Amino acid sequence: MKKWLLIAVCLLVAFSGCGQSTGRETNKTEYRKISAEEAKKILDENAGAILLDVRTEAEFKDAHIRGAIQLPLNEIEKKAAEKLPDKNAVILVYCRSGVRSKTAANTLISMGYTNVYDIGGIIGWPYGTEKG
């Protein structure tokens, strides 16, 4: 009988903190990489989704995905609030090959943006681009 009582007390102590806040939990958004196909589906189904090109102005003028807005990686911290005022908007980030888009996505997440998706590079975008 004492053995069962000891087990019951140990279980009670072990689970007594379950469901209680430790004050250390965060609602942190995590980095998410998605395919071009997934990105296309999001863009097709969500008219408010933002397609963000983080390459230079020259790269953007040479070719970009239709409907994209341009905000170079080195200007994100300074101009994101102006160009991306809704921190809950769906934002799909791309660059040339996927390196800058990952950095940009993580920067936006650290700034409090909640629905950021890295779609990699324009070189992997099979749905066409435009100039200008």
pTM of the entire predicted model: 0.79
- Residue 1 pLDDT level (bands cut at 50, 70, 90): low
Q: Give residue limits of the domains in the chain.
A: 30-124
CATH 3.30.43.10 fits 30-124, yes or no: no
Radius of gyration of the chain (CA): 22
Rounded to a whole number, what is the distance in angstroms from the first to the last CA of the chain? 81
Q: What pLDDT does residue 29 have?
A: 87
Between residues 16 and 52, the one the model is more confident about: 52
- The helix-helix angle for 76-83 and 99-110 (nearest 10°) equals 70
Q: What pLDDT does residue 27 have?
A: 56
Closest CA to 107 of 128, 82, 131, 78: 78
Q: What is the mean pLDDT of residues 108-113?
A: 98
Q: What is the pLDDT of residues 26-35, one digit of tens each?
A: 557 899 999 9
Q: What is the pLDDT of residues 12-50, one digit of tens each?
A: 444 444 444 444 445 578 999 999 999 999 999 999 999
